[in-house]
Amino acid sequence: MSTDDPTTRLTAVQTKIAQAAALAGREPDGVTLIAVSKTRVAEEIEPLLRAGQRAFGENRVQEAQAKWPAFREAYPDLALHLVGQLQSNKADDAVAVFDAIHSVDRASLVSALARAMDKMDRRPACFVQVNIGDEAQKGGCTIDSLPALLADARAAGLPVAGLMAVPPADTEAAPYFALLAKIARDHGLDGLSMGMSGDYEVATMLGATHVRVGTALFGVRA
Ligand SMILES: *Cc1c(COP(=O)(O)O)cnc(C)c1O
């Protein structure tokens, strides 16, 4: 196998997560590796499934609906995570196709998801996304609005698993990861969805329970 074989890459990423967890005195089992498969075709995804990878991330509802039903039949234990922004009018579809939603970031979406979950009788785990670097273009609620949004989500019966964030690009991510971890602790939340290809080891050391890794597994996106 060449070093750019997806299975080799998977082993390398798993090893780095285990090493980072060990450095922080954490169990590697406490970190779920989500293979972010947006834009990747079935032929690229299948080798990872065969190698035992079971958590995958997509950023579009329609793309997930097209790609994943066939894999679900073959691998009933796989888990699909939505890692992209979600429009309220797609809440029903998202609840039907995903096992976890990492982009809950506003009250209108909380209401739409609560209605969708009742209707579909399915309750995907929810991560509230925080705009941790306070960036104009980025998804996520502000740090100031988080307490009210969390209260809304809990009151609406969403299964809130934790917080998610994407720190600003081109700067040291560690302070943002540490801040997200502190905010999660303050709110009694265990789940921390943070860390991508460039920084999943740092995120693991700082408490990530879910790292979202695309490029390091599949190669550079076209
Ligand atoms: C695409 C994406 C990732 C994966 O990014 P890579 O740099 O390819 O690892 C993680 N999280 C979110 C929210 C994404 O959109």
Q: How far is the CA of 166 from the centre of ligand 1 (A)?
A: 9
Give the torsion sign (CA, 204, 208, 214, 218). Answer: positive
Q: Is the shortest distance between the CB of 214 and ligand 1 below 6 Å?
A: yes
Is the entire prediction scored with pTM above 0.85?
Answer: yes
- The CATH number covering residue 199 comes to 3.20.20.10
| Domain-embedded: residue 80 | yes
Assess if residue 1 is contained within a domain.
no
Is 88 a member of any domain? yes
Q: Is residue 69 part of a domain?
A: yes
Q: Is residue 177 part of a domain?
A: yes
pLDDT band at 5 (very low <50, low <70, confident <90, very high): confident
Nearest atom in ligand 1 to 200's CA: 9
- Averaged confidence pLDDT in the chain: 96
CA of 77 to the centre of ligand 1 (A): 23
Atom 11 of ligand 1 has which residue's CA nearest to it?
212
Q: Separation of 119 CA from ligand 1 center, angstroms?
A: 30
Query: Count of domains in the chain?
Result: 1
Do 28 and 17 meet the contact criterion of CB atoms below 8 Å apart?
yes
pLDDT tens by residue, 129-175: 999 999 999 999 999 999 999 999 999 999 999 999 999 999 999 99
Residues 28-84: tens digit of each pLDDT: 999 999 999 999 999 999 999 999 999 999 999 999 999 999 999 999 999 999 999
Query: HSE (CB half, 13 Å, CA atoms) of 62?
Result: 2
Q: Tell me the mean pLDDT in the region 178-196.
A: 98
36 CA distance to ligand 1 middle (Å): 6
Structural domain of 17: 6-218
Secondary structure class of 43 (helix, strand, coil): helix
